[in-house]
Structure 1
C-alpha cells in the first residue's frame, strides 16, 4: 500500500515538472538565453583573434640524380591575426601539403635558402589570405635545403619470396622479373654497399596456376630507385613421373684409358611437367664416374654421380647408385 502511494507521488511531481518546462515562461527564458548566446558569439567573432595552424611541407623539383642531404622541416607553424569570423576559413584541416618547387632556385652550388619574405609569400598563396589577415609569426621563418649530386648504378633485382606450390604442381619455367634490374641513385658510400635491390617479401600458398603480379621493391635508406615495383611472372603446371634408361659415362679419363662399368646403363626416374614430358634430350641427364676419384680407389666399385642439365626436370633418382668398374688400356 505504501509502495503504491510512493509511485503516485512520483508521477504527480513528474507531471508538474513537465508542465513547468512546457510553460510559456520557461520557453521564453530558453529562447532569450539562445538569442543572447548567439549575439555574444557573433560579437565575439567581430573582435580580432589569433590562431596557430600547422601546414605540412613537400619539396619537389630536384633532378633524379640529386638528393637533399640535410633534414629540413616537414611542417611549418603559422600565427594568423584577424577577426574571428575570417579566421574560420583557415582552421579547416589542410590535406594537401605546401609544395615548394626547387627547380626555379636550383643550381650546382649545393644549397637553397628560402627567406622569410619568400616563405610568407608562398604561405599567402597557399592559404588564399584575405587582405585583413596578418601573418604575425612563422616558425621556422626561413628554410635551408642542402643537396648534392648523386652517383648512379644499375643493380639486379633480387626476388624475396616464399612460394608453396599445390600438390603435384611444379615450376614449368624460371621465375621472370621485369625489369630484372633497376637504376639507383645515392651517395657514393651508400651505392657501393649495395650488390642488389631486394623486393618486399612475396608469400604465396598452394599455387596451382601461372601467375603475374606486381611486387614492391624494398626501400633503401638514402637511395632513390628508378622504379618502385617490378612484374613477377611465375609459371606453374602439373607434373608427372617418367622413367628412362641413361648410359653411364666417364669424366676426366686419360686418353690411353677407358672405364668399363657393369652395368653400362642405369634406370632413371625424374619429375617433369606435362608440357615437357616428350621433350627430353639425351644430354639432359648425365650419369657418370669421375676418373680422378677412381684412380686411387682400393675397391672396384664406384658411386655414380648425377648432373641435371635441364630446368624442366627435377628430383632425379637412379638405380643402381653404385656400379662395378674396370680400367682398360686402349
Structure 2
C-alpha cells in the first residue's frame, strides 16, 4: 500500500513539473512575440483597374521582394496569410507609347495593403513597365432565337420586342472584326394565349477571351390576341400591258384575307387594298397564268394575304 501511495505522489510531481514547464515556455514564447524582428518576404503582385481602353498583356515584374520589420506576433500572423498584394493601374504614367510605374508609386500601394504595425525597411527599386493591347468599343445587334408557338386563333401583335435590341462589346479589334450580332439562347414559348415577357440569356461567344459585354441577358416581350377574319373582294389591276392589247382576267377580282382584332377589321374598305398582275413578268410556258401580288394594303393589319395568288387571262386586241 505504501509503495502505491509513493508511486501516485511521484506521478503528481511529474505532472506538476510538466505544467510549470509548459507555462514557463508559453510565457517565454509570448514575451518573445512582443519583440521587434526583421524578415524577408516575396509578394505576388495582382494588377487591376487597367485604363478602360487598354488590355494588360505583359508586365516587367510579377513579384517583389521586401524586407519587413514588425513584432513577432505580427510576423507570425502575416506568415499564415497569402502574400498577394494588389496594384492599382488606374494612375499609370505614360511616356510616348510606354506605360510605367515608379518605385515610389507602387511602394505606397503595397504599404497600404499591409497592417499599420508592419514596416517596409527595403524593397526592389525597379521601375515597373507594362505592355497593353488597345481595346475598341462596338455596338452589335441582338438576334432572337426564341420560338413563339401561338395557340389556335391567336396572333402576335407586331414583332417581338427585344430590350435591349443591341449591346456594347469591348475587346481587341482582332476579336471583334467579324462579330456582327449576338444571338439569344434557344427558347420555345408554347401555346401562348396572352401577352408574354421573358428574360433570356445571350449566347456569348466562348472564343473571344478578352472581350467584355454590357449585359449577358435581355427581355423578350410581345402582345398576343385572339383574332377574327374578314375577306374583301378587290379588283385585279393588270400593269405593263403592251399598246393595242387588252388583258382580261378570270376572275376579274381577287379575295384578300385579313386577320386582326374585330374592331380593326370592321374599319376596312375594298379601296384600302390593291391587287396587281404584272404582264411584263408573263412566261409563255405558264399557260396564260399571271401571278398576283398585293401592291397596296393597310400596314396596321397583322395578317394580309391572297386566298389565290394566280389568275388566268386572255388577250384581246383593241
1:292 corresponds to 2:280: yes
Q: 1:59 aligns with which of 49, 73, 76?
A: 49
1:167 corresponds to 2:157: no
1:209 corresponds to 2:198: no
Which residue number in structure 1 is paired with residue 129 of structure 2? 144
Q: CA deviation at 1:295?
A: 5.0
Quote the Cα distance in structure 2 between the aligned partners of 1:92 and 1:118.
24
Gaps of 5+ in 1: 1-19
Quote the Cα distance in structure 2 between the aligned partners of 1:193 and 1:43.
68
1:326 corresponds to 2:311: no
Deviations 1:176-232 (A, max 9, x none): 4556556666666555544x342553635346424275866947555666x446864
Q: Alignment partner of 1:235: what SS?
A: strand
Q: 1:244 aligns with which of 231, 234, 249?
A: 231
Give the TM-score, by structure 2 length.
0.64
Q: CA deviation at 1:244?
A: 0.5
Quote the Cα distance in structure 2 between the aligned partners of 1:98 and 1:158.
37
Deviations 1:56-113 (A, max 9, x none): 32134x2x5x323633499756666554420325755699x72514345246x22212
Which residue number in structure 1 is paired with residue 302 of structure 2? 313
Distance 1:77 1:236, change over 3 A: farther
Distance 1:267 1:252, change over 3 A: closer
Quote the Cα distance in structure 2 between the aligned partners of 1:275 and 1:35.
95
Quote the Cα distance in structure 2 between the aligned partners of 1:314 and 1:203.
25
Give the TM-score, by structure 1 length.
0.63
Query: Which structure features the higher share of strand residues?
Result: 2
Count of paired positions: 298
